[in-house]
Amino acid sequence: MSLELAANMGAAPKAEIPTESPLAIRGMTVSYGQKPVVFSVDMTVEEGSMTAIIGPNGAGKSTLLKAALGIVSPLAGQALVFGKPLKAARHRIAYVPQRASVDWDFPTRVIDVVLMGLYRELGLLRRIRPQHMDKARACLERVGMSDFADRQIGQLSGGQQQRVFLARALAQEADLYLLDEPFAGVDAATEKAIIDVLKSLRSEGKTVVAVHHDLTTVRSYFDRVFLINTRKVAEGTVDDAFTPDMLNQTYGGRLATGQIDQLELAAG
Amino acid sequence: MFWNALTLQLGYNATLVTIGATLLGIAAGVTGTFLYLRKRALVSDAISHATLPGVGIAFMLMVLLGGDGRALPGLLLGAAVSSWIGLLCVSWLTRLTRLSEDAAIGAVLSVFFGFGIVLLTVIQTMGAGRAAGLEGFLLGSTAGMLFNDALVIAGGGALTLVAVLILRRPMTLLAFDPEYAAARGINVGRMDLAIMALALAVTVIGLKVVGLILIVAMLIIPPVTARFWTERTDHMVLISGLCGGLAAWIGASLSAVAPAMPTGPIIVLSSFALFVLSLLLAPNRGVLAVYLRHVRFQRRVHMRQGLLALAQGQPIYEAFTVRLLKRAGLAHADGVPTDDGRARAAKALRDEKRWELVRADQAFESAAALYDGLRDIETVLTDDQISEIDQRIGGPQGVAS
């Protein structure tokens, strides 16, 4: 009896995690060497929302995503995906890595990259059939890249490469989309194409989380924010959490007051 | 008697060697592609040098147990075990210390190879006659190849190819985008080890034919050759396997015709010949193609600059530009345009304006991406689209008709 009780008590904190949240992170700590980049961070993503992860350079934004996906292994903490351990729900996540993480001279065409999104469906040995090609083409169409299907990926501009990555994520038909700086260094056309796709995903009830740099577009693009500077600073709707006070805390006075005034104007 | 037997065997042996080497070449080319794409080609050098102590130890063990020290399966097993240990050493050194991978490879390669040479020397003092075959593993020796040896190579090569076929998708994903691969649930460390294990398998079965020093060439040169011919991973795997097999077949045949020639080095040189041909002649990435493209491009630049200068009535300073225009019948030697030249120049100027609009308009994005300041606009837009643009350019603005 007492043993059982002890076991239950030990499990108690886990029970607090809302089981249906697309992504629930608890006590996540990641360090490179002896320096924690992410320290004891909790995060609860609301289903059907678009959340921006915001913070200064080196604040652990990308690392938090990578730890949640198991790309880097955390020192402590765990992530639940739709209430399940990562392993059991990994197929419901689509990840869009930073563009710089890839060798763009790799011998592969745009359509091949999108087909990589279908590898779970294809398994190890199944042949690529016309219906797979159609699906991949439809995903390219959605990001406005269907004319580029047969190009070698190195021939694309940065923004076009980013859209191909998004198309690959779309091909996975996931429920949760995690994007690492999708708007970094892209042209205006790409930015619009990407945000349109993300908003349409949200309207289909999917959940979107993106590491985001540009504070001026937060209000128009996202409905929730997650402020982080190694530790979590704030989490909530844009109105509640994206405030000058919280931004000052996050950036530690690195934002000029003028910038914050501008944001307030944009809000007003 | 002895010589007669040898000459009678020559045809049979040469056939065995050629078939064995070709299979090995295909397996090495296919496997090496993933090593190359993962940018880990040099690890294969550590793997191959780390086979030597295993060969020595296996020989000693088999002799101690009273068997034939030269039994190929036993020697290859020993080679596989010690190169696996070498591989783990490289991966531990890189993971647990601040050593970079190239330093770890250098350390492991030299230490294992040195140890192997010491063992070989010890073996020679043990019983010189029995050890006679072992140096053959350094540079390969096909002279005494038996049917069973060829069978080992063929079987090993076939197994390796099957493994590559099964793992090709995760390996491609890992090589292209390791973070995405990890996010998809591929165990990056284990898949890397799998790629290495395949390279190791090829190395071990290739010891007899090309030897441990040159096997690296069979893993690296074919994929590098194949890269010149294609922009697709799947095609690259096939072409690389083809190049590897072809080089081995040619090399083995050459060395059979001139028996004094060592098989392994000749295979490597054949492979290199294919590489040089590709380097020079490949259609898109070859040196010749790149050079021709550059020359053509330079001409188009001069031509277009010349036409725009003519259209705007500016003088042309570069003699090369005038020469090009003259040769095309667009200008006289003094730089004055012909009638033809005037028409072409006017069109060039109009194309500039059209391009300006195309590039400013979202609807033409894919066409705009092709803009290089030189391309004729008809090659990217339909007549309808062009006339639509011309309507926007033409006509005074703001005037109701």
Q: Residue A33: helix, strand or coil by DSSP?
A: coil
What's the pLDDT at A258?
61
As a whole number of angstroms, the distance between CA B79 and CA B211 comes to: 12
Let me know: does B27 contact B161? Beta carbons within 8 Å.
yes
A268 or B156, greater pLDDT: B156
**Mean residue pLDDT across chain B:** 86
CATH number of the domain enclosing A194 = 3.40.50.300
Per-residue confidence band for A212, with pLDDT thresholds at 50, 70 and 90: very high
Q: Which of B89, B95, B45 is nearest to B199 (CA)?
A: B45
A32 touches chain B (CB under 8 A): no
- Which DSSP state fits A151? S
Q: Distance of CA B53 to CAs A203, B114, B286, Å?
A: 63, 9, 41
Where is mean pLDDT largest: A38-42, A241-245, B144-148? Answer: A38-42
Predicted confidence (pLDDT) at residue A264 exceeds the cutoff of 70? no
Residue A39 inside a domain? The answer is: yes
Predicted confidence (pLDDT) at residue A10 exceeds the cutoff of 60? no
Domains of chain B (ranges; CATH) run: 2-258 (1.10.3470.10), 288-393 (no CATH)
**Mean residue pLDDT across chain A:** 88
As a whole number of angstroms, the distance between CA B89 and CA B189 comes to: 14
- Which DSSP state fits A108? -
Q: Which of B269, B231, B252, B271 is nearest to B28 (CA)?
A: B271
What's the pLDDT at A263?
67
Burial class (CB in 10 A: 0-12, 13-18, 19+), A181: buried
Residue A68 inside a domain? The answer is: yes
What's the pLDDT at B176?
96
As a whole number of angstroms, the distance between CA B99 and CA A50 comes to: 42
Residue A8 inside a domain? The answer is: no
Whether A108 and B369 lie within 8 Å, measured CB to CB: no
DSSP assignment of B151-179 equals HHHHHHHHHHHHHHHHHHHHHHHHHH-HH
**Chain A interface test: which of B39, B98, B173, B231 (most A C-beta within 10 Å):** B231
Structure tokens at B107: 């350390």
Residue A3 inside a domain? The answer is: no
A181 touches chain B (CB under 8 A): no
Distance of alpha carbon B339 from its chain centroid, rounded? 52
Which of B169, B227, B235 has its CB closest to that of A119? B169
Domain count, chain A: 1
What's the pLDDT at A6?
41
pTM over 0.95, yes/no: no
Residue A4 inside a domain? The answer is: no
Planar angle of CA B177, B182, B183, nearest 5 degrees: 100
Phi, psi of A81 (to 5 degrees): -115, 115
Residue A10 inside a domain? The answer is: no
What lies within 8 Å, CB to CB, of B267 at 6+ separation is B21, B25, B209, B210, B214, B218, B247, B248, B250, B251, B252, B255
Whether B236 and A189 lie within 8 Å, measured CB to CB: no
Poorest-confidence range of A18-32, A76-90, B170-184, B382-396? B382-396
Residues of chain A positioned with their CB less than 8 A from the CB of B171 = none
* Tally of helices (H runs) and strands (E runs) in chain A: 12, 10
Q: Which residues lie across from A23 on neighbouring strands?
A: A45
Domain range for residue A72? 17-267
Whether A71 and B169 lie within 8 Å, measured CB to CB: no
Tell me which residue has tokens 């294919």. Answer: B274
As a whole number of angstroms, the distance between CA B35 and CA B89 comes to: 18
Nearest-Cα distance to chain B for A191, in Å, is: 13
**Chain A interface test: which of B165, B169, B172 (most A C-beta within 10 Å):** B169
Q: What is the pLDDT along chain B (401 residues), one digit of tens a residue?
A: 333 333 334 577 777 888 888 999 999 999 999 999 999 999 999 999 999 999 999 999 998 888 887 888 899 999 999 999 999 999 999 988 888 989 999 999 999 999 999 999 888 887 655 555 788 888 887 766 778 888 888 889 999 999 999 999 999 999 999 999 999 999 999 999 999 999 999 999 998 888 999 999 999 999 999 999 999 999 999 999 999 999 998 888 888 777 677 888 999 999 999 999 999 999 989 999 999 999 999 998 898 888 888 888 888 888 888 888 888 888 888 888 888 888 888 888 888 888 888 888 777 777 777 777 777 777 778 888 888 888 887 754 444 43
What's the pLDDT at A4?
42
Predicted confidence (pLDDT) at residue A8 exceeds the cutoff of 70? no
Q: Distance of CA B323 to CAs A118, B65, B313, Å?
A: 55, 84, 18
Which helix (H) or strand (E) covers residue B35, if one does? helix B2-37
Report ipTM for this prediction.
0.89
Enumerate chain B positions whose Cβ falls within 8 A of a Cβ in A: 37, 39, 165-167, 169-170, 172-173, 175-180, 182-185, 227, 230-233, 235-236, 362, 365-366, 369
As a whole number of angstroms, the distance between CA A166 and CA A192 comes to: 13
| Radius of gyration, CA atoms only, chain A | 20
What's the pLDDT at B130?
59
As a whole number of angstroms, the distance between CA B249 and CA B24 comes to: 10
Structure tokens at B296: 């053509």
Q: Distance of CA A137 to CAs A119, B156, B370, Å?
A: 15, 39, 21
What's the pLDDT at A2?
41
